[in-house]
Amino acid sequence: MHADLVGLGAVLLLAALVARGARRVGLPSVPCYMLVGILLGPGTPGPVLIEHPDDLSVLAALGLVLLLFHLGVEFPLEQVVGGGRRLFLAAACYIGLNITAGLIFGFSLGWGGAEALVVAGALGISSSAIATKLLIELQRLTNAETPVILGIIVIEDLFLAFYLALLSPVLSGADSPGALAGHIALSFGFLVVLFAVARWGARAVGGLIGSREDELLAVAAIGLAVLVAGLSDEVGVSDAIGALMVGLVVSRTRFRERVERIVLPLRDVLATVFFVAFGLTIDVGDLGGVAVPALIAVAVTVVTNVTAGVLAARLFGFNQRGAANIGLTVLARGEFSLILVTLAIAAGLDARLGPFVALYVLLLAVTAPLLAAGSRYLARVMPDWLLRSDWTYVREETISTSCTHLDQIRVTSTDAAACRGCEELGTDWVQLRLCTTCGHVGCCDDSPHQHSRRHAEEARHPVIQSAEPGEDWRFCFIDDTLVRAPMGRSRDKR
Residue 488 is predicted with a pLDDT of: 55
Residue 217 is predicted with a pLDDT of: 95
What is the band of 236 on the pLDDT scale with cuts at 50, 70, 90? low
Q: What is the pLDDT of residues 320-365, one digit of tens each?
A: 999 999 999 999 898 789 888 988 888 889 999 999 999 999 899 8
Q: With respect to CATH, is domain 2-381 assigned 3.40.640.10?
A: no
Q: Which of 40-54, 71-85, 386-400, 471-485 has the weakest average pLDDT?
A: 71-85
Give the residue with greater pLDDT, 131 vs 137. 131
Residues 253, 301: Cα–Cα separation, whole Å: 38
Q: Which amino acid is at 479?
A: D
**Which residues contact residue 278 at a Cβ distance below 8 angstroms, ignoring those fewer than 6 apart?**
34, 37, 60, 338, 341, 342, 354, 358
User: What is the percentage of the chain residues whose pLDDT exceeds 90?
Assistant: 46
What is the band of 492 on the pLDDT scale with cuts at 50, 70, 90? very low
Residue 459 pLDDT more than 80?
Answer: yes
Query: What average pLDDT does this structure show over 127-145?
Result: 80
Residue 318 pLDDT more than 50?
Answer: yes
Residue 81 pLDDT more than 60?
Answer: no
- What are the residue ranges spanned by the domains of the chain? 2-381, 401-483
Q: Which of 26-30, 224-228, 291-295 has the weakest average pLDDT?
A: 26-30
Residue 264 pLDDT more than 60?
Answer: yes
Residue 128 is predicted with a pLDDT of: 79
Residue 452 is predicted with a pLDDT of: 95
Query: What average pLDDT does this structure show over 189-198?
Result: 80
Query: What average pLDDT does this structure show over 240-264?
Result: 88
**Which residues contact residue 304 at a Cβ distance below 8 angstroms, ignoring those fewer than 6 apart?**
97, 98, 101
Contact 125, 152 (CB under 8 A): no
Query: What average pLDDT does this structure show over 272-290?
Result: 89
* CA count, 13 A, side-chain hemisphere, 190: 30
Residue 494 is predicted with a pLDDT of: 40
Residues 230, 242: Cα–Cα separation, whole Å: 8
Q: Are strands 441-443 and 432-435 parallel, antiparallel or unpaired?
A: antiparallel
Residue 173 is predicted with a pLDDT of: 63
Residue 490 is predicted with a pLDDT of: 47
Mean pLDDT in the chain?
Answer: 87
Residue 438 pLDDT more than 80?
Answer: yes
Give the residue with greater pLDDT, 406 vs 208. 208
Query: What average pLDDT does this structure show over 138-167?
Result: 83
Give the residue with greater pLDDT, 460 vs 388. 460
Q: Which amino acid is at 20?
A: R
Residue 34 is predicted with a pLDDT of: 86
2-381 and 401-483, same CATH topology: no
What is the band of 493 on the pLDDT scale with cuts at 50, 70, 90? very low
Residues 330, 146: Cα–Cα separation, whole Å: 11
Give the residue with greater pLDDT, 88 vs 175. 88
Which of 56, 65, 70 has its CA nearest to residue 273? 56
Look at the domain 401-483 and name its fold.
Answer: Herpes Virus-1 (3.30.40)
Sheet holding 399-400, edge to edge: 399-400, 481-483, 474-476, 463-466, 432-435, 441-443
Residue 464 is predicted with a pLDDT of: 94
The gap between the terminal CA atoms of the chain, to the nearest Å, is 65
Query: What average pLDDT does this structure show over 176-201?
Result: 76
Contact 483, 463 (CB under 8 A): yes
Residues 257, 263: Cα–Cα separation, whole Å: 10
Residue 399 has phi, psi (to 5 degrees) of -100, 120
Residue 175 is predicted with a pLDDT of: 59
